[in-house]
Amino acid sequence: MFEFCADPSILPDWQWFACYLTSGTHWAFYRSFLVVILLLIITAPMALGMGMLGALALRSGFAPVNLLGRGYVNLIRGVPDIVFFLFVPIALGQGIEWVLHQINCPDWDQPIRQGNDFIVCREAKMPPVDASAWARNVYGFTMAIIAFALVFGAFVANTLYGAMQAVPRAQVETAESYGMTRRQAFRRIVLPQMWVFALPGLSNIWQILVKATPLLFLLGIQDAVFWARELGGAKTSLYTYPHPDWRVWYFLALLVFYLFLTWASERGFGWLTVRLSRGQATAEGERLRRRAA
């Protein structure tokens, strides 16, 4: 990074730290914070989409769809989600390989589960045998995102379902008496108004999602926790930057990062609540109207 970094062992303190904190592995550490943010940005809309589907299934009058929605929401909410975070990627991975195996190698005569091994033919391996390290990382990350979206989708479904029920019934009835179909009334009346009711629940789920991101580490992804452990551990003089055990400082930095993230999202949701309450038939909306008048 800096020119004077050629031989760090002779540098004075501040320059040593300037070099140390800009070394290649530290850039990987800083990038891993972006991975956390990336996960949040991708997972949140996916969970919202899953949640919307789940809520619509819960509302559906068609019995099998309704049952499916209820099964999904209750199963995931009833089991500790750490189980799901570890179960979904491996189960999904084996499921994909099994399907590919059935398609690509129909004349394979040996069983797939032999003792404790899960054996599929070469063409069915996912990610493919000759995939690059980068592709393998993306595959692992995608699995993690699916697991997160599945779990948080169930939480969101429950919140959105409650919010849809909370939209005043009289408004829907009025819409229907104007001749709107059930679908039109849902799209024009319920959908725009439900968000203000959903917001407290969604903000809660978002905070939980933020605090769940370090669990990526358990899925073998090189996230902030992984790098904090790697970089913080004691380094002998064999390394360019020898130092004693500094893990506590690295984890302190992580702690501060997460505190900032939750604090900032609290502020963000506060702003959003005010914004969405405008013109709503709620106490907050009434207060905004009075203040403006």
Q: Which residues contact another protein by CB under 8 A?
A: 77-83, 86-87, 90-91, 94, 113, 115-118, 155, 204-205, 208, 210-215, 217-218, 225, 228-229, 232, 245, 247-248, 251-252, 254-255, 258-259, 262-263
The closest alpha carbon to 175, from 193, 190, 159, 162, belongs to 190
| 3-class secondary structure per residue, 93-150 | HHHHHHHHHHHHCCCCCCCCEECCEECCCHHHCCCCCCCCHHHHHHHHHHHHHHHHHH
**Smallest separation (angstroms) from another protein to the CB of 51:** 14
**Smallest separation (angstroms) from another protein to the CB of 201:** 10
Q: Which is nearer to another protein, 127 or 214 (CB)?
A: 214
Q: Is 273 exposed, middle or buried (0-12, 13-18, 19+ CB in 10 A)?
A: middle
**Smallest separation (angstroms) from another protein to the CB of 113:** 7
d(CA 160, CA 205): 12
Q: Which is nearer to another protein, 31 or 77 (CB)?
A: 77
**Smallest separation (angstroms) from another protein to the CB of 195:** 20
* C-alpha count within 13 angstroms, C-beta hemisphere, residue 115: 1
The radius of gyration of the chain from alpha carbons, rounded to an integer in Å, stands at: 25
Q: Which is nearer to another protein, 168 or 220 (CB)?
A: 220
What does 194-212 look like in DSSP terms, one character per residue? HHHHHHHHHHHHHHHHHHH
**Smallest separation (angstroms) from another protein to the CB of 94:** 8
Helix (H, G, I), strand (E, B) or coil at 56: helix
Q: Which is nearer to another protein, 191 or 255 (CB)?
A: 255
Q: Which is nearer to another protein, 136 or 211 (CB)?
A: 211
Compute how many other C-beta atoms are within 10 angstroms of the C-beta atom of residue 128. Answer: 14
**Smallest separation (angstroms) from another protein to the CB of 270:** 15
The closest alpha carbon to 79, from 179, 8, 155, 143, belongs to 155
Q: Which is nearer to another protein, 80 or 111 (CB)?
A: 80
